Copies of this chain bind each other. A is one copy, B any other.
């Protein structure tokens, strides 16, 4: 298998190494170590990092992202655990759905405003 160093990942995602170490401090990512203590990241670690950054773009806090990651990550075997996980997941899914609807409304409003501006510009050009 193949590993990434911290600076490789940092470059790939255009973030600092400090940022990656900070995510580790907060328990969001857990790379293995070489004998001498250097961090090594697997493809899976990379995927987690990608997930973190996407969550951030959506305005989720690291705390929320942490919750979501443990949702996907932990193999919850017990029935109660599964039910809890599903309930939590359904709630998060609902939140995401609401956000999408909200954003689509914003999009429509922006399009309307833009249409208005374009019309104004047309009139100005007509006069000229």
How many interface residues does A have (CB within 8 Å)?
A: 37
Interface residues of A in 84-128 (CB under 8 A from B): 85-86, 89-90, 92-93, 96-97, 99-100, 102-104, 106-107, 110-111, 113-114, 117-118, 120-121, 124-125, 128
A117–B110 Cα distance when bound, in Å, is: 39
Which secondary structure dominates where chain A touches chain B? helix
A34-60 contacts to B, CB under 8 A, are 54, 56-60
Kindly supply a per-residue 1/0 record for chain A positions 70-82, scoring 1 wherever the CB is within 8 Å of any chain B CB and 0 otherwise. 0010001001001
The 10 A-B pairs with the shortest beta carbon distances in the complex, nearest first, are A59-B59, A82-B121, A89-B114, A100-B103, A93-B110, A96-B107, A86-B117, A79-B124, A58-B59, A85-B117
